[in-house]
Amino acid sequence: MEIFGIPHQAFLGQIMLGLVNGAFYAVLSLGLAIIFGLLRVVNFAHGAFFMVGAFIAFLLGRNLGLGYWPAMIAAPMIVGFAGIIFERFAIRRIYGLDPLYGLLLTFGLVLVMEGGFRVAMGSSGHPFPTPQLLRGAWDIGFMMLPVYRGFVILIAVVVCAGTWILIEKTRMGAYLRAATERPDLTQSFGINVPLLLTLTYGVGVGLAGFAGVLAAPIQHVNPSMGSDLVIIVFAIVVIGGLGSVLGSALTGLGLGVIEGLTKVYYSEASTTVVFLVMALVLLLRPAGLFGREEA
Amino acid sequence: MKTSLRLTMTAASLLALGATAANAQISNDVVRIGVLADMSGIYNDLSGKGAVEAVKMAAEDVGGTVLGKKIDVIFADHLNKPDVGAAKAREWFDTGAVDMINDLANSGVARAVAAVAKEKKRHIIVNGASNMGITNELCSPYAIHYAYDAYSLAHGTGKAVVAAGGKSWFFLTVDFAFGHGLEQQVSDVVRGAQGRVLGAARHPLGTTDFSSYVLQAQASKAEIIGIASTGADAVNAIKAAAEFGATKNQKLAALLLWIEDVHSLGLQTAQGLMLTNAWYWDQNDETRKFAKRFYDRVGKMPNMAQAADYSSTVFYLNAVKEAGTDDPDKVSAKMREMTVSDMFTKNGKVRVDGRFMHDMYLWQVKTPAESKAPWDYLKPVSTIPAEQAFQPLSESKCDLVKK
């Protein structure tokens, strides 16, 4: 059986792979959306924190002998902590300024981080073994699905859902949302808004670090692993609607699939298709697919 | 009387000749070598700092001066962009007093710079790139293709895999001059052996996720998946192929694998792969000695291009010394007369089309058990004599070749 000229096995396989990539997009764009939603900062350094997460997992393994599972907990925390320090000493100073300043600041940080890792760790990248438990592949009929990739989809869904619940259904989330809408009023209720913002940034980049650990066994740990990704992830956040958590996650998965299919039909366009979609969405629905028009 | 007059005249003219040589016809009072490399991108480990250090080592080993003039080594990052590389080369030749440009990793950049060198009549030595254009349509008396090229890779790894029974191929090709050139060369070898090329998937430079392309390669049912990319691209492609179980029913042929790629893949994944390299650090005492010096400066083992950067720079500087000038035409003529015997190769010689003729070697990646020390990765399989490793002149499209 063929679907649009390619064997249905290949077709289904590509959709499956698209979901795996989409899972990464979802987790990354989630953090980006939270940060933008609450801090109004375009965090260009997101990809760099993703890369750092992967490197921390690698270094913990190489220098301390820690395996994948402890790294999965430790790396996001270390990255989150680094983010908190960065927020405290740098980003805090540009709140309220034109978003362009935030973009420039975080972009500068990307260059410093990537350059630093390139000098210290080389550009070729380092292997990161897949955890013993998740090796091998399942034969799911139309393709061999590596167990680890299946695990990535699962984890991504859990993380996205958890974040959504945290923001929409808990008291903490309510504070966060209140601080976004009316920071002055929220503060007058005795809630420490600057601390909330700091923590939000920490959690946001912590998520990026988490995605980095997830990607380490698949992608090969190297200094530029985040830079290509972050541009696509930005497009996804824009398509999903700036600040919309659920929108980003769903758009991430969806665009992963679209990109995967493009690789089969017209591989040359696979790097541009996301931006094509972005242009279309911006023309037809400027606030994004799930975004609300702001007054 | 007559005899002594003649003698005096001869002596005088010889003296005059000696005086000009001592005056050294060196333009701008400096012999400047520009290393145009990938200093920040995907090929940084393969060229980058190691290339610059290798050329500096060469300058130091020659004594820091040639014909009494200082040797100056400068470098720049071409960012893997042909236009950036060409602009830098133009600037270096026009106003930077650069006499020779070395390394030139990235085929797109090398092609662009070769065109500039031809126009400006200045020397380039290509070590980092494989594109056949350097010794064919872009050939000039000023361009030397030194370390390896696509033909030699195809006739090394490609031929060995076909000979071992790999008759049907599917390529994973990086989408620019390098990948296209390599795919074409290997396809020729495959078809020449009555094999079949079933298709190719083209991916952009710097792809991190190869799963989709690997699936296409699996769907093709080809016996061999030919990986026409290198560096991080090849590493990611090989990893993805292993992860998706492509290595169960199909075999991989990595068409340009560097020692760094093996290092970064790890022996567990890389073991058994065949690769064609011009040089390996653990070949003999001379190579080990060079490798150790290099390691102390750079912190990793040199690869074939970096060894060639060193060897070709010494060769160029010796040619300047022999010619008594850095005049490009005279140096070019000298380089085509001299032979090179050093740690890189024995009795290497530049052919009229600019191809540096030397033996190539087919290697196989060791198993983890066979490897005794860090960077102990390769075992020799066979030597490919220069005449078989490189494109015969009869097939050359170079207009310097008389037919």
Domain positions in chain A are 2-284
Closest alpha carbon within chain A to B235: A220
Nearest by CB: B239 against A9, A20, A220: A220
Q: What is the pLDDT of residue A286?
A: 83
pLDDT at residue B220 greater than cutoff 60: yes
Name the residue of chain A whose CA is nearest to B41's CA. A123
Q: According to the model, what pLDDT value does residue A55 have?
A: 95
Let me know if domain B151-277+360-385 sits in CATH 3.40.50.460.
no
Question: Residue B1 — very low, low, confident or very high, per pLDDT cuts 50/70/90?
Answer: very low
Residue B111 contacts by C-beta under 8 Å, 6 or more apart in sequence?
A: B82, B129, B131, B133, B134, B138, B177
In this complex, which of B44, B206, B215 lies closest to A118 when CB atoms are compared? B44
Domain ranges of chain B: 29-148+283-354, 151-277+360-385
Tokens of A158: 């859990």
Asked if residue B38 lies in contact with residue B46, where contact means CB atoms within 8 angstroms, the answer is yes
Q: Name the closest residue on chain B to residue A226, using Cα atoms.
A: B208
Contact B211 A149 (CB under 8 A): yes
Q: In chain A, which residues have their Cβ closer than 8 Å to the Cβ of B202?
A: 267-268
pLDDT band at B131 (very low <50, low <70, confident <90, very high): very high
CB contacts of A220 in chain B (<8 Å) are 208, 232, 235-236, 239, 264
Any A CB within 8 A of B237 CB: no
- pLDDT tens sequence across A114-129: 989 988 887 777 878 8
Do domains B29-148+283-354 and B151-277+360-385 share one topology? The answer is yes
Nearest to B208 among A7, A13, A225 (CB): A225
Q: Please provide the size of chain A in residues.
A: 295
- Phi-psi map region of B214: left, alpha, beta (phi>0 left; psi -120 to 50 alpha): alpha
Q: What is the mean pLDDT of residues A13-24?
A: 85
Whether B48 sits inside 8 A of A263 (CB atoms) is no
- pLDDT score of B6 more than 80: no
Written as six digits, the tokens of B318 are 């010796």
pLDDT range class, residue A295, cuts 50, 70, 90: very low
Instruction: Name the phi and psi angles at B42, rounded to 5.
Output: -65, -30
Evaluate whether A8 touches B203 at the Cβ level (below 8 Å).
no
Instruction: Give yes or no for a contact between B128 and B37, defined as CB atoms under 8 angstroms apart.
Output: yes
As assigned by CATH, the class of the A2-284 domain is mainly alpha
What's the CA angle centered on A228, arms A227 and A230, to 5 degrees? 65
Report H helices in B138-273. 150-153, 159-163, 177-192, 211-220, 232-243, 246-249, 259-265, 267-270
| Confidence band of B288 (pLDDT split at 50, 70, 90) | very high
Q: What is the DSSP letter of B355?
A: B
Mutate: best of A224, A263, A271, partner B, most B CBs <10 A = A263
Three-state SS at B254: strand
Q: What is the pLDDT of residue B3?
A: 55
Q: Identify the CATH assignment for B29-148+283-354 out of 3.90.226.10, 3.40.50.1220, 3.40.50.2300, 3.20.20.140.
A: 3.40.50.2300
Mean pLDDT of chain A: 86
Lowest mean pLDDT among A197-211, B136-150, B205-219, B225-239: B205-219
The model's confidence at residue B341, banded by pLDDT at 50, 70 and 90, is very high
Residues B244-265 have pLDDT tens digits of 888 888 999 999 999 999 998 8
Averaged pLDDT for residues A126-136: 83
| pLDDT on residue B24 | 53
- With bands split at pLDDT 50, 70 and 90, how would you rate the model's confidence at B5? low
Amino acid B20: pLDDT: 45
- pLDDT at A294 exceeding the cut of 80: no
Chain A interface test: which of B215, B256, B268 (most A C-beta within 10 Å)? B215
CB contact, 8 Å: A116 with chain B?
no
Q: Which helix (H) or strand (E) holds B204?
A: none
Q: Tell me: pLDDT of B371 over 60.
A: yes
Residue B179 has pLDDT above 50, yes or no: yes
